[in-house]
């Protein structure tokens, strides 16, 4: 049981290049999320998904796209990277909230992205 995995772990891009970050979870979780973490700031939600085939925007979606073609995978795309997208990206997953709002998000190990 690997939990949540992310690839790649590190990446350096030049401005204008594109890339896709892959997140996979083996816990059969319905919900998946992409966050970015910058120094001095909390984790900020980029996009999220409440189930296979559905995605929605979070707090900071501009410049990113996502897809969830399979329940276990959630992809984050940068079409034209900018220096402002230099950050650590974390994927997470969780079970449905349901009527109980107390649930845990499980995070992947993160991807450190630098855009020059």
Partner 1 sequence: RKEVEQDPGPFNVPEGATVAFNCTYSNSASQSFFWYRQDCRKEPKLLMSVYSSGNEDGRFTAQLNRASQYISLLIRDSKLSDSATYLCVVNMGTGGFKTIFGAGTRLFVKA
To partner 1, the closest distance from the beta carbon of 85 in angstroms equals 19
Which one, of 89, 84, 3, lies nearest residue 43 by Cα?
89
Choices 20-28, 66-74, 77-85, 97-105; region in contact with partner 1 by CB under 8 A: 97-105
| Residue listed under structure tokens 């950050």 | 87
The correct pick among 5, 67, 86, 94 for binding partner 1 (CB under 8 A) is 94
Residues 33 and 40 sit within 8 Å (Cβ to Cβ): no
Give CA–CA dist 75/79, Å, rounded: 12
Does 50 help bind partner 1 (rule: CB under 8 A)?
yes
Instruction: Mark 73-100 as b/e (b = at least 16 C-beta within 10 Å).
Output: bbbbebeebeeebbbebbbbbbeeeeee
Residues 57-86 that bind partner 1 (CB under 8 A): 58
**What mask, x for binding partner 1 by CB under 8 A, covers residues 14 to 33?**
-----------------x-x
Give CA–CA dist 99/88, Å, rounded: 32
Does 108 help bind partner 1 (rule: CB under 8 A)?
yes
Q: Which residues bind partner 1 (CB under 8 A)?
A: 31, 33, 35, 40-45, 48, 50, 56, 58, 90, 92, 94, 96-99, 101-105, 107-110
């Amino acid at each position: 049981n690997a939990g949540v995995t992310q690839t790649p772990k590190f990446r350096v891009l030049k401005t204008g290049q594109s890339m896709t970050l892959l997140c996979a979870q083996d816990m059969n979780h319905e919900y998946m999320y992409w966050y970015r973490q910058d120094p001095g700031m909390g984790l900020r939600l980029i996009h999220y998904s409440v189930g296979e085939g559905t995605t929605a925007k979070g707090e900071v979606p501009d410049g990113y796209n996502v897809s969830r073609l399979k329940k276990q995978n959630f992809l984050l795309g940068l079409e034209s990277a900018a220096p402002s997208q230099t950050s650590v990206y974390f994927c997470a997953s969780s079970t449905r909230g349901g009527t109980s709002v107390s649930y845990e998000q499980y995070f992947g190990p993160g991807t450190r992205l630098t855009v020059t």
